[in-house]
Amino acid sequence: MVGDFTPATLPLTIQEYISEGLTKVRPDGTLSAGLAISWTATDSAKTFIFTLRRDAVWHNGKKVTAADINYNIRNVVFSPIDEFTLRANLKAPYSAFPVVVAKPLFLNALVGFGGYRVSNIQLKGNSIVYLKLVPTLASAQHEREYRFYTTEAEAILAFKVGEINEIDDMSTPADLTNWGKSTVTSETNYNRIVSVYFNVTNPLVSDKAVRQALTYAIGYRTDLERAYSPISKLSWAYSDNIKKYTYDMSLAKKLFGNTEEGSSSAHLTISTFAPYLSDAQSIAASWTTLGITTDVRVENSVPADYQVLLSAQDVPPDPDQYPLWHSTQTETNITNYANVKIDKLLEDGRQEMDINKRKAIYADFQRYLTEDVPAAFLYYAKSYTITRGR
């Protein structure tokens, strides 16, 4: 695996081998039973009652009870009603709370109650460098060993010298497609969207007409599946009734020519990361043809004062995207977007419990956001797995 992970931030795919949460999230964002076999909301989505199953046992042999559950979520108080009934009191209504508690539960030292337990863990500082899982159930067929590398380049080298037999979740197959008997498989990750983000406080892209012109001037890749919305197409809340941008240079030039920026000698810089350099260069060339000279800068982190950012964003399993687009969320709303209508929809969506009413709210959210285009949604990222031939 590539990335710097601590025991508390292990990839979800690994966490789910070791344990499970109160709930489980299906690919469409709906919920099924986890440790909790049922749950109800009261007090306008400020109180949730979870009924736990009685057969779960921690890997240390202790029965899992309501008293063990504490996610340490800010402004949430967990209290057992009895051995297998748990109450969660929230400071404010939050209809997506059952999705939050799908996160797998652990005691200290990654003790869970799933189909695998941790038999060996090695740290360098706080970072995991090696992890071994052994099966606890007859249905689990084999042990699982993980080594962690800071960069994809390090993981590729380890694969080539025989240190590992598989690399998961690569952004590119690099030069391993024809490496010996290795096999490269890919799948579309519908929970990760590659997008162009506009810093709407920057004078050059503060005008909606400019952002729309730039979006129409993007030549969208045909080898990857288009994304049209900030919400995954698999989500129960996805709406197709949105503004869809296809490549149209004539329309782009018409829109751009009617703006103040279209008659100036404007200059844009696209900030991006190494995996997206080729896409950024292609977009920059297209925007230069549109009439706005554009260059590309490769960054190691998101610059505070960027004009345009090309990057990927993991989509939350619930359609609530309050942290990403609400005007008050200055740490996570990287576009600095502020829209009273969007703010109200996001506030209503996280308080409404009726799923049909929530769906209508998020349909409006998607429609207004894509029209205003603080970001151009490009495509769903692909994830590559490289496996050594045997």
Task: List Cα–Cα distances, 306 to 7, 147, 285, in angstroms.
Answer: 33, 35, 18
SS3 assignment, position 5: coil
Question: What sign results for the dihedral spanned by CA atoms 148, 153, 156, 158?
Answer: negative
Rg, the chain, Cα only: 23
- The 10 Å Cβ neighbour count of residue 370 is 22
Q: Vertex 316, ends 314 and 319: CA angle to 5°?
A: 130
pLDDT digits (tens, 9 = 90+) for 134-151: 999 766 678 999 999 999
Beta strands in 136-264 (DSSP E): 144-147, 166-170, 183-198
Structure-derived torsion over alpha carbons of residues 78, 79, 82, 84, reported in degrees to the nearest 10: 10
d(CA 169, CA 12): 12
SS3 assignment, position 341: helix
- Give the pLDDT of residue 140: 60
- Give the pLDDT of residue 259: 87
Is residue 95 a contact partner of residue 353, using CB atoms and an 8 Å limit? Answer: yes
pLDDT digits (tens, 9 = 90+) for 332-380: 999 999 999 999 999 999 999 999 999 999 999 999 999 999 999 999 9
* Tokens 């400019």 belong to residue: 210
Q: Which residues of the chain have pLDDT under 70?
A: 138-140, 262-263, 390
**Ordered alpha helix ranges (H), 291-380:** 322-325, 340-349, 355-372
For 157, the token pair is 């080298």
| Average pLDDT of every residue of the chain | 94
Is residue 243 a contact partner of residue 211, using CB atoms and an 8 Å limit? Answer: no
Q: Which of 295, 309, 276, 288 is nearest to 205 (CA)?
A: 309
- Give the pLDDT of residue 288: 96
Task: List Cα–Cα distances, 147 to 93, 124, 132, 338, in angstroms.
Answer: 41, 12, 9, 42
d(CA 190, CA 363): 18
Is residue 320 a contact partner of residue 350, using CB atoms and an 8 Å limit? Answer: yes
d(CA 190, CA 377): 13
**Model's pTM, two decimal places?**
0.91
d(CA 94, CA 314): 21
d(CA 134, CA 165): 18
Q: Which of 11, 17, 386, 373 is nearest to 210 (CA)?
A: 373
- Give the pLDDT of residue 390: 64
Q: Report all structural domains of the chain as residue ranges with CATH numbers, in order of start.
A: 20-105 (3.90.76.10), 190-381 (3.10.105.10)
